[in-house]
Structure 1
């Protein structure tokens, strides 16, 4: 299965955020064996697991677990066409819908979701790795970048109604409170921001329907070329959405992708995967992420992964990791 990758322009933004902490980005790349010169190649991409290693090293060197929040001060577009498409949208809601549509161009490891709810509009991000569990800074970087971008575009100090953050609260939450200026909820399964409908529906000063259509065309063409060889990630996104409803049947996934079951299986085989392998891999990765959230019970995790019986989840988990879910969680807590 192809490893998830991140576009060089987004990685450049990460490096700028790290360097704002006083670190030497070039030296960190050299230590990790990464190609610093590739940051200047607009088509270059970096493996998601290498981005996890970069965040881990940056936190270790700086001693600042909130280092990813620095990206709110960086206004380098993660992917110019996507950034311009957002800016030319009628309002932020339309811009966020475009961001969700084209996110895979920027980073395959991140699943973005924008949903209207009665209490407000929820923008959420969930990051996945290949061999390594993603650093919490990856998702926090996305939220920080977005809040900085919307304030810059609108010229207003937009404040979320609520910010949800994965993992336990850090010792010092001051940087989070200072940036988001909103109620913070730690210990969530993924990161998200809840915005008011009024903020999302207010006209953007940069709106331009003709430019929005032009950027849609460019981004759509790029995404079509990119997805032609990255179909497994698209299938994985559907699985993540369907799993809480029970084990997804191949037929339901094919229908969600507007394909026949035969075409689904053929396209996965072309990428060296299969439906059952992808389902198993997706469950394994989500299990790791859910177990890192202390307040989630093993029963809740089993059902979120689509297992009809907890015993089926325990058997699968022992096959994946050689230990029980409880033992795995205890090891992570040490």
Structure 2
């Protein structure tokens, strides 16, 4: 399995958080065999286990087990690499957090994020993995504090979550958690999460800019591709792109092309935080966005290029991805009015550019 890594921009956020407690991070980096100068290189990556050791050493030296919460006080979109700017130009926080989930691995590979609507509100759910070393609670708590502070930074007002779930045990001193989150706290939770009010997540962002959001999506996608070149996920995605116009690719065909057994392909994808079905769905979604930006391609052609034998299956999948129809999405993308028929039926796609 490839070594999990953390971006230099996120590592810089950790450094600023530790310096708030008076720690000398130049010395710490030297002790841990890390290149402090690499923090200024936006493309540099640090091993995940080194960040784990950094948190552990910081807690020992500072005597502050809640030191991870400091990251909420130093957060800026730049700490989220290109993902931060994509989030900033999103229409709403809900749309932004969906982008954050999509590009999370650019920031750090140690975390799996999901964002979903529950009965009690929107939930940003975080699961932090270690590499060879188990993860620290400080790493997860830093991510939660950062996500909440970013909401405030983007909206220009203080957001109070409905609830904050923390996997760790209840600490002796609750005060830093109360100050960081201003919300009911649940410790020993099954996962780390922020639960938000729907209205807060769906309100328009003052920084929204759809053209910039699409541009940042492209930058983030290109970065992910460069960053992932050696990974099975990237190679499998390339194979899917080639096979899709011939119909929905099967796992055995992709495995065979990569000279892997189906079981090995499945295991390697799992190690890289995905599955064959998720990868297929993500690849189709990303290609659908690219194809819809080409005004000469009909919706029927796009459906077949994405491997859908029946256009109505493409429509259903597209609605699941974007909560709108392909025709409505294209109209919004190109700024052209939607025809009266509204592009809601597969029959319409056969003749509509």
Provide TM-score, normalisation by structure 1: 0.72
Deviation at 1:167, TM superposition (A): 1.6
- Conserved in 1, the CA contact under 8 Å of 2:20 and 2:70? yes
Deviation at 1:227, TM superposition (A): 2.6
1:95-114, Cα deviation, whole Å (9 max, x unpaired): 00000001011111110110
- The residue that corresponds to 1:261 in the other structure is 252
Q: Does 1:38 align with 2:34?
A: no
User: Per-residue displacement from partner, 1:280-333 (whole Å, max 9, x unpaired)?
Assistant: 999xxxxxxxxxxxxxxxxxxxxxxxxxxxxxxxxxxxxxxxxxxxxxxxxxxx
Deviation, 1:17, is 0.3
Preserved contact between residue 268 and residue 275 of structure 1 (Cα < 8 Å): no
Cα deviation for residue 204 of structure 1 reads 0.5
Q: CA deviation at 1:41?
A: 1.2
- Counterparts of 2:154 and 2:270 in 1: how far apart (Å)? 39
Task: Give distance in 1, aligned partners of 2:255 and 2:24.
Answer: 45
Mapped partners of 2:234, 2:48: distance in 1: 13
Give the CA deviation at 1:233: 10
Q: Which residue of the partner structure matches residue 50 of structure 1?
A: 50
CA shift, 1:264, in A, is 4.1
Shift of 1:37: 1.1
Name the residue aligned to 1:157.
158
The answer to whether residue 103 in structure 2 is matched with residue 102 in structure 1 is yes
1:261–1:138 Cα change, 3 Å: farther
Distance 1:75 1:280 in 2: 29
Higher Rg of the two aligned structures:
2
Inter-CA distance 198–264: structure 2 relative to 1 (3 Å threshold): farther
Structure 2 match to 1:28: 28
1:28 is displaced (CA, Å) by: 0.8
Residue in 2 that maps onto 1:126? 127
C-alpha deviation, 1:258, in angstroms: 6.5
- In the aligned structure 1, how far is the partner of 2:163 from the partner of 2:259? 39
Distance 1:173 1:268 in 2: 53
Contact 1:232 1:268 in 2 (8 A): no
Kindly state the Cα deviation for residue 175 of structure 1 after the two structures are TM-superposed.
0.4
Distance 1:161 1:24, change over 3 A: same
Q: Distance in 2 between matches of 1:233 and 1:16?
A: 33
Q: Secondary structure at the match of 1:34?
A: coil
Find out whether 1:173 has 2:174 as its counterpart. Answer: yes
State the 1:189 CA deviation: 2.6
Offset at 1:223? 1.3
Backbone CA RMSD of aligned residues? 2.5
Name the SS of the counterpart of 1:123 in structure 2: strand
The TM-score, its normalising length taken from structure 2, stands at: 0.68
Contact residue 229 and residue 235 of structure 2 kept, 8 A? no
Change over 3 Å in CA distance of 1:265–1:185 after alignment to 2 = farther
Q: Give yes or no for contact 1:108–1:233 (8 Å, CA) kept in 2.
A: no
Name the SS for the 1:42 alignment partner: coil
CA apart distance, 1:231:
3.3
Residues 183-332 of structure 1: pairs in structure 2 closer than 5 A? 183-231=184-232, 260-264=251-255, 267=258, 275-276=266-267
Structure 1 residue matching 2:122: 3-state secondary structure = strand
Structure number with greater CO (CA < 8 Å, separation at least 6) is 1
Deviation at 1:263, TM superposition (A): 2.0
* 1:75 to partner: Cα distance: 3.0
Deviations 1:56-95 (A, max 9, x none): 0000100101101111111342244211111111110000
Residues 230 and 140 (structure 1 numbering): CA distance in 2 closer, same or farther, change over 3 Å?
farther
Q: Secondary structure at the match of 2:187?
A: strand
